[in-house]
Chains A and B, each alone.
Chain A
Amino acid sequence: MSAVLPVPLVQVLQPLTVLVAAPGLSGAIAKAEARMQGRRGPRVLQPYYDLAKLFGKESLAPEGASRFFLLAPVIAMTCYLTVPLLIPVLTSFGLPLGYMGDIIGGGFLLSLASFCVAVAAAETGAPYAQLGASRSKTFGAITEPVVLFVVFTVALVTTTDLPYAQAATVRSSADQIIRPAHLLASAALFLVILYETARIPVETHTGTNEFGMIEEARALEHSGPYFALLKWGSACKQLILYTILIDVFLAPWGLASGTSAGPVALAVLALLGKALVLGLVVAVIDNTFAKLRLFKITEFVSAAFLLAVLAVFTLYLGGG
């Protein structure tokens, strides 16, 4: 039998796993994408080197920007590291701090982070950063209803809105997986995640063309450690969203049911494995579809909205 870890340690391990693994996931997706295009691609560890380089650089703020410009990346990172406390990252049951917020609470934290980054971008007075901020808020306003309907689905299925309850429901039987409400809500959430993580068909993740940028453009004016925090933060956000999709909806298996060292270590590996598989799927999508024109993004979001609303519809007639 392996040693039982103290609960606070497991609690700290949740954000720590996300923090450490997130850049690696981005690197792995970039590598997979490059291989599919016949390129050799950057090293999987390249994001870590990038972060190390940026942390060693000087940082500058635009003239006239207030203190909030420099504070925003720190607030955003804090938000991103709070969310893993609320969702099933390593354990299948809620740790002491796990019930301080539900799915909506997690959503609020993620939007707070995005709001701070947008305000910081608006502070700069630089056209591209402001463009990115305004676009991300505009499209954020239309993806929000989709997320809400996904939460409604969870609420109707589990009569709570706790991510742990939803994961337990999915684990309970095959009937819970094959029901249309679950499949539709998962698909809708996946589409929202494609938008939130700035992937094709919404945005080119590695593009350098400012006109097509949404999320990426917001950080253009930051530099040095602050820019590193923003990049790291968006990598964390990606892994957090993948974790929500995987461990709450698609495959909540492999989580530790206790705090023994063995199962917790296995849970870390399982999470990374599942996130890699999902990342591979995203890489395939990145290579298969073209980026949508900016004004076609509403059509993409309306498709996600359709799925989420149908999920709630089917639940109301008792057939979902």
Chain B
Amino acid sequence: MPVPLAADSAPTTFEGATNTVAVLLLLTEFAMLRATLSRSQVRLYAVQSLLVSGLAAIVAADRELPELYALAAVSLALKVIAVPWVITRLLRDAGAEIAGSGAIGAASATLLSLALAGVGFFAVGSLDISSPYLPQAALGLSMSIVLVAFVLMIVRRDVVSQAVGFFSLENGVSLASLVVAAGMPLIIEVAFLFDLLVAVVVFGVLMRVHHHRTSSLSTASLTSLRG
């Protein structure tokens, strides 16, 4: 484990700012875990996506990677506006407000995910991957986001939470790609975004079909095999 830095070697302003945005990404993920309304989960997802787009723009400005501006714009249009809009419309049609309760309490879920986030953070941190674009801590944080998104999908018993968990997992992956491959050709990054769109369509169909068959968004009725 690396020795913690002493007072004389604080991170630079750029590192501090980007790390703060990355930490905010993780905190929105935790907020989703805690949110009780489906609508507020979707809103939190939009905020998280906005933070990812903002981070891409910051990296583009500071590291002079103009193609990242395009990525930030596309991700803004898709993940901040289009996807939340589609899910909100689906929710309005379904008429369900309250997200399913978690399998464990909010405090226990927070502590569990905190432990998992720590595992991800230190596991990736010890790989010693350094990147010219973003500080190393952001990579650990992206792994934590992915793991907490898994917890969100596992402990919540409703389709919307699971969909939002999956989409926000993609946000964690975006953050990781900003760290290790910010200079990656734009076409690959955009291809990832369109993968997300496919997932949105699939989850949208799933939500509609599930709501049509059980007239609820809860997955509790899926546990019994006979209809």
Contacts and interface: CB of A to CB of B under 8 A. Distances in A.
A319 interface: yes
Size category of the A interface is: 20 to 34
B110 A302 contact: yes
Contacts of A317: 2, 121-122, 125, 136-137, 140
A190 to B, nearest CB: 14
Nearest to B18: A319
A224 B52 CA distance: 58
A165 B8 CA distance: 12
Interface stretch (B9-17, B80-88, B216-224): B9-17
A194 interface: no
B20 A180 contact: yes
Nearest to B15: A319
Contact of A179 (B16, B106, B118, B121): B16
Given A302-B107, A302-B111, A306-B110, A318 B7 contact: no
A310 B115 CA distance: 10
Contacts of B30: 303, 306
B13 A175 contact: yes
A178 B20 contact: yes
B7 A319 contact: no
A174 interface: yes
B34 interface: yes
Interface in A291-307: 298-299, 301-303, 305-307
B136 A319 contact: yes
A158 B137 contact: no
A320 B7 contact: no
B138 interface: yes
Contact of B26 (A173, A174, A305, A310): A310
B47 interface: no
A158 B10 CA distance: 10
Contacts of A302: 106-107, 110-111
B168 interface: no
Nearest to B20: A180
A159 interface: yes
B70 interface: no
A165 B105 CA distance: 39
Contacts of B17: 178
Contacts of B135: 318-319
B107 A157 contact: no
- Find the residue from B23, B30, B34, B105 having the highest chain A CB count within 10 A: B23
Interface of A: 156-159, 165, 169, 173-176, 178-180, 183-184, 298-299, 301-303, 305-307, 309-310, 313-320
30 contacts: A159-B6, A159-B7, A175-B12, A175-B13, A178-B17, A179-B19, A180-B20, A180-B22, A180-B23, A184-B23, A299-B34, A299-B106, A299-B110, A302-B107, A302-B111, A303-B110, A306-B30, A306-B110, A306-B114, A309-B114, A313-B118, A313-B140, A315-B5, A316-B1, A316-B4, A316-B125, A317-B2, A318-B5, A319-B138, A320-B137
Given A180-B22, A307-B27, A313-B140, 16 more contacts: A169-B7, A175-B13, A176-B10, A178-B13, A179-B11, A183-B20, A183-B23, A301-B107, A302-B107, A305-B110, A305-B111, A310-B27, A310-B114, A314-B141, A317-B137, A318-B2
